[in-house]
Amino acid sequence: SRTTLPIEILINVCWLKLFLFLNAVLRPLAPHHVSSPPRRGGFDTMPGAWPWIVSLQLPTITGHKHSCGGSLVSARWILTAAHCFSNKRNLPHWRAVIGASKLSSLGPEVHVRFIKQVVIHEDYKPPQEANDIALMELDQPVKCSDYIQPACMPNATTDVDKFNDCFISGWGVLRDIVTVASDVMREAKVNRFAPALCNSSNWYNGAVEPNTICAGYAEGGVDSCQGDSGGPLMCKENESQPFWVIGTTSWGKGCGEAHHPGVYTSTQSFHEWIEKHIGPIDTVTPTTAAALQAPQGAQDLKGSKDTVATFFKLLQKLLHHTKKGKN
């Protein structure tokens, strides 16, 4: 007789990208990302280019308005910045828009969810910028698709220092003198800076806290800005590797000022805190059956020993259950 597979195994097939270093699985609609020359405000993204980025929106008289960005880290949880919720009310009426590119035109691929709860880091004490990190739980899980995928998150053993091909993306304003968010998601390539340089006297002069990352350009001109808060700093090692969300947008002096790059909360530094609240990131099991077909480009699988080992552990589970069902 036919064996029924446990739902957690079937679900993990959809979210197998957590185990595979496969660009086509991680970004199904952007398998070959080509860097463009940076310019102020970046450039428009293609739909599905960054499938883990979320628009967090406030309720207004005329409807919901983009306020902050975030990163989908599981079917129910979004990682963002704590300062997004300073003096903000009506949290149950906030909404998260997942899988979107143009906010004024949400297609059928987009999921809209409301907020069940917000968990702000217990040591975040505004106006200080330290521990500027928060989690939002959605009222319902999302289903993965070409447009919706969870972010790869570094743990304590991930060598993030080798990830130097970095991008930022979101719906933030294009200049700090503008108050209206961009309708279309935009992206820009940025450079990472050593903490010592970022804290030097003619840069931030010691104001940058530990557990943060500086990224932008020494000459300015390209940066995150208002409305990008909570959104991801995404980096990878080379073309064959996936992007990792190594930071969340926290603060900066102005937008695009010389010697004042964006400052991002290090997600690796808060990996234990994240897992304390949502469970192990690589075992969270969303409720979906949307992507059970073999991923495109699977023949190009490349990965580290640890990644492949994790994959085979999952495969062992599957085979063990199948064998047990035949007995």
Give the gyration radius of the chain's Cα atoms: 20
Boundaries of domain holding 61: 24-283
Q: CA dist 326 to 1, 8, 321, Å?
A: 7, 19, 9
pLDDT above 90 (res 300): no
SS3 category, 276? helix
Rounded to two decimals, the pTM is 0.76
- From the candidates 33, 66, 83, 111, which is the catalytic residue? 83
For residue 54, tell me if it sits in a domain.
yes
Amino acid at position 124, single letter: Y
295 burial (CB, 10 Å; 0-12 / 13-18 / 19+) is middle
Residue 111 annotated in active site = no
Cβ-count burial 182-216 (b if 16+ within 10 Å, e if not): beebbbbbbebbeeeebbeeebbeeebbeebbbbb
- From the candidates 55, 169, 224, 229, which is the catalytic residue? 229
CA–CA separation, 240 and 244 (whole Å): 13
For residue 324, tell me if it sits in a domain.
no
Residue 320 annotated in active site = no
Place of tokens 């060598």: 159
For residue 109, tell me if it sits in a domain.
yes
Question: Where residue 267 sits, what CATH number does that domain have?
Answer: 2.40.10.10
User: What is the count of structural domains for the chain?
Assistant: 1
What average pLDDT score do residues 237-259 get? 84
- From the candidates 66, 67, 132, 260, which is the catalytic residue? 132
The answer to whether the CB of 78 falls within 8 A of the CB of 54 is yes
Quickly state the pLDDT bin for 20 (edges 50, 70, 90): very low
For residue 156, tell me if it sits in a domain.
yes
Q: What is the tens place of the pLDDT at every residue in 163-217?
A: 989 999 998 876 554 566 788 898 989 999 999 999 999 999 988 889 999 998 8
SS3 category, 249? strand
For residue 14, tell me if it sits in a domain.
no
For residue 302, tell me if it sits in a domain.
no
Residue 169 annotated in active site = no
For residue 261, tell me if it sits in a domain.
yes
